[in-house]
Structure 1
């Protein structure tokens, strides 16, 4: 089955569309990557989204407008992916949508909201769409995150030692071989918030870590930030921009007159430190990293230093483009849903049971379920694909 996976993370800068050929071969799920296209949000939509996110208050009119605008943006990315990567032969779209709120209270997730109305995608592509993946896991008592954990468990199974999959987006998360999975804390969320604050909104992020590279970490600010109670919570745990935003930094005194470069350097060290602490807590023998954060050489350098003898590798080295991994993961989750297979591991999310995820919006010709899968996959292999340049190990983080 040829599936397009759509993803926009907590940095909400673009819609990534990754296409892959997926097939079940006994208990092995094979993925052949076909490539990725990325479409930045148009600035008015991105500004409206930024204005609506916590801790801001948002009315139902704004939610409706965003649901439509994001849905149309995802639809355009899916159309482009079908045309450029699939030669018009895609069979299914799997859309994560845009997370706008993850309701966490007393250490439990009570609800989650992803916008991006799938009807726009189905109408534009003519294809059936699986969307709204997280809600079912939350209803089953889970955290609804990290949903890439099942993908990671299948993909890294059989690799020697104790490999850990790490994704550094706006929020960083990891998955260990025993199913332990959790958000470690901020990935790039606080770095992005500080870059916007110091530039008066001119910069959306610290490109290539240029500001952080010119600064020196402030130990007092770092100590205050490391005192965040979230880091002491047991797994599974999840967080988001509901906690880590510009107001959080303001309350911590990050904007109290220090040099912007020093604040960015401190925040890069905070992310590296909290990730490294989490990696060591699960006894990792190596780290396979992906996500936008791997493009920040300062962050990668700090993480390497803190990990010491634990190797840090890019997912590119294993044949899966770091920038596209989450989009491919949701393509896999959509494929599993279409075949009536669970897309979660309760060890990772804390749910009472595994769940078949998402809701299906029929395509132009409806939606005919494939034949039920005879076997539950226990491993995932990535076969040789095209459309992405693999980053050699020596270039990772430089």
Structure 2
């Protein structure tokens, strides 16, 4: 009997950094190992980022704006998928499915109405590309009592788990989450990744991020401010746990900074970098079995932040996922290509040690493109 053929999937990701849509076209072998065939990144405009920010304030938000951005982001996701097909020279009918994370605008799995809401019209993506599109990955997990996030640790285990070697994977997106790989894979959000660093860079540099952490490197971390930041109740909360811009944002930072009026902006940036590094170090504290930390996400390009992590985590080896064969920029988009494959194959994932879900669940809803000419 011939082995089953390899399958093509597209993964589309726009995370809490709100900087770009990242897309990958990936080929999965019959045993599920991925190979990236094409990549594309489409930056989000400043105006779009500001509009998204306005939708993420609890108790506020414009429904008409949310619906407009739902449509606009759907168009942008579809554009990214079509660009991937064009780059790879692959026809749409050769792709089994698209996995689209969408853009999170609200995440509160612990409230009286547990939810995680992503926008980006996936029916529109399916219609424009002609490819079945999987979306809304988080709701089934929340319905089963889970946090709905992070979902990437299951993929991290599939892609980077190595027998006999205890690895952890750190995704430094807007928020930071860690995956402890092994037979008992676990993972959780540890706190902010780039979100506060980026917001402070916008305010004081007029740039969307602190390139390579050069602004932070000019400053000196303030111990008292760091202690005040680490006093946020989320940091000490035990997993499973997840967070978002509802918890960590510029408004909260300004409240903390009210007691530190004389700090130089570069010192604040250095302290914010230490805040991210300290949150990761606390998450890994006491887990001496971990030998290596692989970093992915936009923060993997922040050499200052990687240096702070390495100093706090000595003697742990800190490297990016490039050391394991995957460019750190594309790991999360690849995760949603993998999650789409799990959905198409109707594979239930046991995320009890990651999100706290009470039972294995099949994640995602499938939007079909309809028959040609229908």
Scaled by the length of structure 2, the TM-score of the pair is 0.92
Q: 2:22 aligns with which of 5, 9, 16?
A: 16
User: For residues 138 and 281 of structure 1, do their structure 2 counterparts lie closer, same or farther at Cα, with a shift above 3 Å needed?
Assistant: farther
Aligned partners of 1:78 and 1:125 also within 8 Å: yes
Superposed displacement of residue 53, structure 1: 2.1
Q: Which residue in the other structure is 2:192 paired with?
A: 186
Q: 1:271 aligns with which of 250, 269, 276?
A: 276
Aligned partners of 1:344 and 1:356 also within 8 Å: no
Q: 1:65 aligns with which of 41, 64, 68?
A: 68
> 1:94-132: CA deviations, max 9, x gaps?
1000011101436x9811100001022112211110111
Scaled by the length of structure 1, the TM-score of the pair is 0.86
> What are the equivalent positions in structure 2 for 1:21-40 lying under 5 Å apart?
21-24=27-30, 28-40=31-43
CA RMSD of aligned residues (A): 1.8
> 1:361-387: CA deviations, max 9, x gaps?
102438xxxxxxxxxxxxxxxxxxxxx
Distance (whole Å) between structure 1 residues aligned to residue 26 and residue 185 of structure 2: 25
Residue range with higher mean Cα deviation, 277-286 or 259-268: 277-286
Q: 1:116 aligns with which of 120, 123, 128?
A: 120
Superposed displacement of residue 180, structure 1: 2.0
Distance (whole Å) between structure 2 residues aligned to residue 349 and residue 276 of structure 1: 20
Q: Which runs of 4+ in 1 moved over 4 A?
A: none
Distance (whole Å) between structure 2 residues aligned to residue 191 and residue 258 of structure 1: 16
Q: Which residue in the other structure is 2:368 paired with?
A: 362
Distance (whole Å) between structure 2 residues aligned to residue 342 and residue 350 of structure 1: 15
Distance (whole Å) between structure 1 residues aligned to residue 164 and residue 268 of structure 2: 39
Does 1 or 2 have the higher relative contact order (CA < 8 Å, sep 6+)? 1
Distance (whole Å) between structure 2 residues aligned to residue 116 and residue 343 of structure 1: 24
User: For residues 342 and 23 of structure 1, do their structure 2 counterparts lie closer, same or farther at Cα, with a shift above 3 Å needed?
Assistant: farther
Aligned partners of 1:182 and 1:238 also within 8 Å: yes
Paired residue secondary structure (2:90): coil
**Corresponding pairs, count:** 360
Q: Which residue in the other structure is 2:164 paired with?
A: 160
Paired residue secondary structure (1:47): helix
Q: Which residue in the other structure is 1:48 paired with?
A: 51
Aligned partners of 1:137 and 1:344 also within 8 Å: no
Aligned partners of 2:38 and 2:87 also within 8 Å: no
Structure 2 unmatched runs, 5+: 1-6
Distance (whole Å) between structure 2 residues aligned to residue 221 and residue 130 of structure 1: 43
